[in-house]
Amino acid sequence: MKPGFEVVIGLEIHVQLLTRSKMFCACRNVYGAAPNAHTCPVCLGLPGALPVLNKEAVRMALSLGLALGARIQTKSVFYRKQYFYPDLPKGYQITQGPVAVVEEGSVTIAGDPEVRGNAAPIAIRIERAHLEEDAGKSNHERSDTATYVDLNRAGVPLLEIVGGPDLRSANEAYDYLKALHRLVTFLGICDGNMEEGSFRCDANVSVRRTGAAAFGTRVEVKNLNSFRHVKMAIEHEAARHIVLLEKGESFTQETRGWDADTGETKSQRTKEAAMDYRFFPEPDLPALTITQDEIETVRRALPELPEARRNRFIREYGLTDYEAGMLLQSRGFATYFEAVAKAANGKQAANWMLGEVSRALNETGREIETLGLDAAQLAELIQLVEAKTINLNTAKEAVFPRLLRGEGTPRQIAEKQGLAQVSDRDTIETLVQEVIRAHPEQLAQVKAGNEKLKGFFVGQVMKAGKGKVNPQLVNEILEATFDH
């Protein structure tokens, strides 16, 4: 950020809820079906059809509210937000009014040291999270003369999470978005798929001169469908504002669209052109009332939250903050790690997950669930190393790739390939003697005090033993030989 300026960001996140059916009808809530396969009179907006509220969506909203430490409003009312668009069959969207079911929560992130001076944890306010329904999708590509409309998404439950204007850099916005993404996926209320639009984000961005009390004019940037683009769009927008502010140009509040191809934002509509949504309470739905009992039931069913899990990983398995954070990259990854850690050594399990397993995931572009590697087998591999049956290098380079290819259990692979670690003293002594005899000059140097050359001998013996000899024994026997 240019000195003398401060950027202020507030995110609005739309979370598609993983309910079985839609928000106000019994149609299935699934992605990728044939166009309009999941529609009915309610989500098509046919006259006379009546909406019925999905209780599962309410339960999911409550679980997010409780996870955010928010206030649950025991009475909130649905409203009609009216506008005309081809993919909005009713001519209005049902959303919540001035009172949202979830209000005043917060999410803690590490502050950005570049703008705050240190990385101390900072609470980012959540103003509200309200329930609403999604619109359908227009397809403009299919024809030059017509727009095709798919209403499978019309009426899919959404939770809109409105964050306070508390973020001060693109990095903080990124961390905040990651934290919420992790929260909703760990809670199991959203699949978090940004490409399919299940987790979407609009960024409100303004810039002010450092020390100014009032916020600058904000723009709302839409169409951000990856974490990277959120960051890029905020950086681009902040830089654009600074240029305007330095030129002394005034500009107005507006909505802009992010163009991922050009890496720029383009004006969509200005505040003057803002729509009048003619909000009014939805007459076909009763107010949403929540009882204390319902709140307690959801509270009891809450899974362990990511932050708690991270602290437990550090405590129980002796991991660093960084390792624990990396293991929480997804709920599946964290759960898999725990399965391995319980059956083998926790620290080793973390090393494998963040080393070989992550590399395999990157190389194949898969998720841990589809890698085809059983947690029990990875645990067995770690145990074979711990028991010194095979050495770590052999495990990584010879057994693990075969395990991934499904060539058997770690034990079977080690046996079949003759990979068992050699811990036989006589065999290693013989190798050591051979290597020493072959390198008299280096030996003289070691004896003269060249400590560094010892590593050379270790390497030579390991090589002579085809990488299978026990490295600790090699060291021990070499040392004894040097001392002679």
The Cα–Cα gap between 446 and 430 comes to: 20
The yes or no reply on residue 277 touching ligand ADP (CB under 6 A) is no
The yes or no reply on residue 105 touching ligand ADP (CB under 6 A) is no
Look at residue 8 and give the partner it binds from ligand ADP, Zn ion, none, a contact being a CB closer than 5 to 8 Å depending on partner kind.
Answer: ligand ADP
CB 264 within 8 A of CB 253: no
The yes or no reply on residue 49 touching Zn ion (CB under 5 A) is no
The Cα–Cα gap between 173 and 182 comes to: 14
The Cα–Cα gap between 230 and 404 comes to: 35
The yes or no reply on residue 154 touching Zn ion (CB under 5 A) is no
- Using the rule CB under 5 A, give the single segment among 39-47, 55-63, 217-225, 432-440 that binds Zn ion: 39-47
Q: Which is nearer to ligand ADP, 65 or 346 (CB)?
A: 65
Q: Report which DSSP code applies to 303.
A: P
The yes or no reply on residue 96 touching ligand ADP (CB under 6 A) is no
How many residues touch ligand ADP under the rule CB under 6 A: the total is 14
The Cα–Cα gap between 361 and 355 comes to: 10
Measured from the CB of residue 19, what is the shortest distance to Zn ion in angstroms? 12
The yes or no reply on residue 136 touching ligand ADP (CB under 6 A) is no
The Cα–Cα gap between 341 and 230 comes to: 35
Contacts of 170 (CB under 8 A, 6+ apart): 7, 9, 230, 231, 232, 234, 235, 238
The yes or no reply on residue 97 touching ligand ADP (CB under 6 A) is no
Q: Which is nearer to ligand ADP, 10 or 136 (CB)?
A: 10
Q: Which is nearer to ligand ADP, 25 or 234 (CB)?
A: 234
The Cα–Cα gap between 457 and 371 comes to: 39
The yes or no reply on residue 10 touching ligand ADP (CB under 6 A) is yes
Q: Which of 162, 183, 403, 473 binds ligand ADP (CB under 6 A)?
A: 162
Q: Which of 35, 45, 97, 165 binds ligand ADP (CB under 6 A)?
A: 165
- Using the rule CB under 5 A, give the single segment among 26-34, 163-171, 277-285, 344-352 that binds Zn ion: 26-34
CB 96 within 8 A of CB 131: yes
The yes or no reply on residue 206 touching ligand ADP (CB under 6 A) is yes
Contacts of 165 (CB under 8 A, 6+ apart): 8, 9, 10, 204, 206, 215
- Using the rule CB under 6 A, give the single segment among 57-65, 83-91, 202-210, 433-441 that binds ligand ADP: 202-210
Nearest to 202 by CA among 168, 230, 170, 244: 230
CB 162 within 8 A of CB 132: no
Query: Where does this chain bind Zn ion (CB under 5 A)?
Result: 25, 27, 40, 42-43
Residues interacting with ligand ADP, by CB under 6 A? 8-12, 162-165, 204-206, 215, 218
